[in-house]
């Protein structure tokens, strides 16, 4: 009887440990929509190049302009860094546009913060399309000034492992939208 009493706590602790382990395993199998969206974007890690078209056009952006996008998973897989610049320009953010965008999951939302060359930081929240090929971001709020306008909307469409499209909407002063369309192929 003494051995049964000393064995009982060990059995109970083992059963509780097993139950918690199973709950944890089941919980990890269920991914939030935000995490699914983020995992989809992380497949775009790498360097991309392609054409940029603007609507309406701007006199300082020549037709046939090419962009270079670098996307890198960082922070132990918890963040994605997106860097954008005109292709074939030196890496000098003091002379050339070089905005940086960070993606991360914040509770149950996929969040984008765009560190803009206009000196502000729009924040957007994204959702994955039902077919799993598109992540669309909607504007939430803005930190910093709005004198020169701000990014307002972004859509990432995955065509295949070596081809994706980015559509960005920039809200100019006076709430006039400017749309940038980038058709990108993997460079490395």
Same domain, 75 and 8: no
Q: What percent of the chain has pLDDT over 70?
A: 78
Question: What are φ and ψ of residue 110, in 5° steps?
Answer: -85, 120
Same domain, 17 and 62: no
Same domain, 130 and 85: yes
- Rounded to whole angstroms, the maximal C-alpha distance in the chain is 91
Residues paired with residue 184 on neighbouring β-strands, in sequence order: 50, 164
Same domain, 19 and 40: no
More confident residue, 22 or 146: 146
Same domain, 16 and 83: no
**Where residue 85 sits, what CATH number does that domain have?**
2.40.128.20
Same domain, 19 and 110: no
The predicted pLDDT at position 23 comes to 47
Q: 47: pLDDT confidence band, cut at 50, 70 and 90?
A: very high
Tell me the pLDDT tens digit for each residue of 146-162: 999 999 999 999 999 99
Tell me the pLDDT tens digit for each residue of 70-126: 999 999 999 999 999 887 776 766 666 789 999 999 999 999 999 999 999 999 999
Same domain, 42 and 22: no
The total number of structural domains that make up the chain:
2
Same domain, 179 and 103: yes
Same domain, 126 and 178: yes
DSSP 113-167: EEE-TTSEEEEEEEEE-TTSSEEEEEEEEEEE--TT-EEEEEEEEEEETTEEEEE
Q: Rounded to an integer, what is the distance from CA 80 to the centroid of its chain?
A: 6
Same domain, 134 and 176: yes
**What range defines the domain where residue 131 resides?**
33-186
Contact 115, 101 (CB under 8 A): yes
Q: Is the pLDDT of residue 139 over 70?
A: yes
The predicted pLDDT at position 6 comes to 59
Same domain, 10 and 73: no
The predicted pLDDT at position 9 comes to 53
Contact 116, 99 (CB under 8 A): yes
Same domain, 83 and 150: yes
């Amino acid at each position: 009887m003494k051995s049964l009493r000393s064995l009982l706590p060990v059995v109970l602790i083992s059963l509780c440990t097993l139950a918690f382990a199973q709950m944890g395993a089941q919980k990890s199998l269920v991914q939030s929509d935000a995490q699914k969206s983020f995992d989809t974007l992380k497949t775009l890690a790498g360097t991309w190049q392609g054409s940029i078209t603007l609507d309406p056009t701007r006199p300082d952006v020549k037709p046939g302009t090419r962009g270079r996008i670098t996307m890198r998973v960082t922070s132990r897989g918890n963040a994605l860094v997106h860097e954008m610049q005109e292709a074939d320009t030196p890496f000098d953010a003091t002379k050339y546009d070089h905005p940086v965008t960070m993606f991360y999951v914040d509770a149950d939302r996929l969040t984008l913060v765009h560190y803009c060359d206009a000196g502000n930081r729009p924040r957007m929240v994204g959702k994955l399309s039902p077919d799993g090929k598109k992540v669309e971001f909607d504007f939430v709020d803005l930190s910093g000034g709005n004198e020169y306008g701000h990014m307002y909307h972004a859509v990432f469409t995955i065509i295949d492992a070596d081809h994706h499209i980015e559509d960005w909407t920039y809200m100019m002063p006076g709430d006039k939208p400017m749309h940038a369309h980038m058709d990108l192929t993997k460079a490395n």
